[in-house]
């Protein structure tokens, strides 16, 4: 068993209310961490918090819209007043599967605001404290869509490619301060985001995966927890969790 070293540490998970984020919250609580769970969907986030930690002693649900820089700053203030953050999972994202001929400028900006600008702003805010304390683990949820082209992935895929680049910049900047920064690049994973494409598109996409199925959120979380573990010499890396869909 991997000793994550997360017991007693404070973890911030964005996009915590559903899918991979909710699985991350449950896993971090099981490891003994304190968890700040940030999501725009307040009702679902509160419900998740009540289910995952019924007494509420180790979880703090935070409502924020990551497309708004002021909301990011306020959420960071709220979380760090509760407990200083040791581990940050930048997991929230806005999916967009749309032909590059049809994407509007507003959609492009919204995807980039959530998938890339928010990660930049929140990571910079959180990393300042990590650098001072000499310890931090940051894990960004990228995507295979940022590594190989999809006809409908102009905005989403470009934002995820940017996230992989940003991961490396933060990793280089923070390496000397005990702070590691890495990315996970899943392919299709069984979450509400993927189910929203419909059964036919899902079957067609699954057929392209050499392992013949899509990932479970827990399989993605396992790799994210490895990258967040206290004893680690891994930084600036992107770990693929894709069933062989892209081998590089």
Residues at the site binding ligand NAD, with contacts judged by CB under 6 A: 15, 17-21, 39-41, 64-67, 91-94, 114, 141, 143, 186, 188-189, 191-194
- Give the CB-side neighbour count of residue 224, counting CA atoms within 13 A: 29
Count of helices and strands (H, E) across the chain? 9, 7
- Beta strand pairing call for 238-241 and 179-186: parallel
By beta-carbon proximity to ligand NAD, the closer residue of 44 and 230 is 44
Nearest approach, Cβ of 154 to ligand NAD (angstroms)?
Answer: 15
By beta-carbon proximity to ligand NAD, the closer residue of 5 and 52 is 52
Nearest approach, Cβ of 226 to ligand NAD (angstroms)?
Answer: 16
By beta-carbon proximity to ligand NAD, the closer residue of 41 and 107 is 41
With residue 128 as reference, give the H or E element that holds it. Answer: helix 118-133
Name the token pair of 57: 């002693």
Catalytic residue flag (residue 156):
yes
Q: Active site residue: 34, 89, 112, 156, which one?
A: 156
Helix, strand, or coil (residue 100)? coil
Residue 15 gets the label, from left (phi > 0), alpha (psi -120 to 50) or beta, of left
Nearest approach, Cβ of 102 to ligand NAD (angstroms)?
Answer: 20
Q: Which residue is nearest to ligand NAD (CB)?
A: 19
By beta-carbon proximity to ligand NAD, the closer residue of 5 and 187 is 187
Helix, strand, or coil (residue 182)? strand
Nearest approach, Cβ of 63 to ligand NAD (angstroms)?
Answer: 8
DSSP 62: E
Distance CA 152, CA 173 (A): 33
Instruction: Please list the active-site residues.
Output: 156
């Amino acid at each position: 068993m991997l000793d994550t070293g997360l017991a007693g540490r404070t973890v911030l998970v964005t996009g915590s209310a559903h899918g991979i984020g909710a699985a991350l919250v449950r896993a971090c609580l099981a490891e003994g961490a304190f968890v700040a769970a940030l999501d725009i969907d307040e009702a679902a986030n509160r419900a998740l918090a009540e289910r995952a930690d019924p007494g509420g002693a180790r979880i703090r649900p935070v409502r924020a819209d990551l497309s708004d820089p002021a909301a990011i700053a306020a959420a960071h203030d709220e979380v760090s007043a509760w407990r200083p953050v040791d581990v940050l999972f930048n997991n929230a994202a806005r999916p967009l599967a749309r032909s590059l001929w049809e994407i509007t400028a507003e959609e492009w900006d919204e995807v980039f605001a959530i998938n890339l600008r928010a990660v930049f702003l929140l990571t910079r805010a959180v990393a300042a404290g990590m650098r001072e304390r000499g310890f931090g683990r940051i894990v960004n949820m990228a995507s295979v869509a940022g590594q190989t082209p999809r006809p409908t992935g102009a905005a989403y895929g470009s934002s995820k490619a940017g996230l992989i680049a940003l991961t490396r910049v933060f990793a280089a900047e923070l390496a000397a301060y005990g702070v590691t920064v890495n990315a996970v690049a899943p392919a299709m994973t069984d979450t509400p985001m993927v189910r929203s494409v419909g059964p036919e598109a899902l079957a067609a996409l699954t057929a392209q995966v050499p392992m013949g199925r899509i990932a479970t959120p827990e399989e993605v979380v396992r790799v994210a927890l490895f990258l967040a573990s206290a004893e680690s010499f891994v930084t600036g890396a992107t770990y693929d969790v894709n069933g062989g869909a892209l081998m590089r």
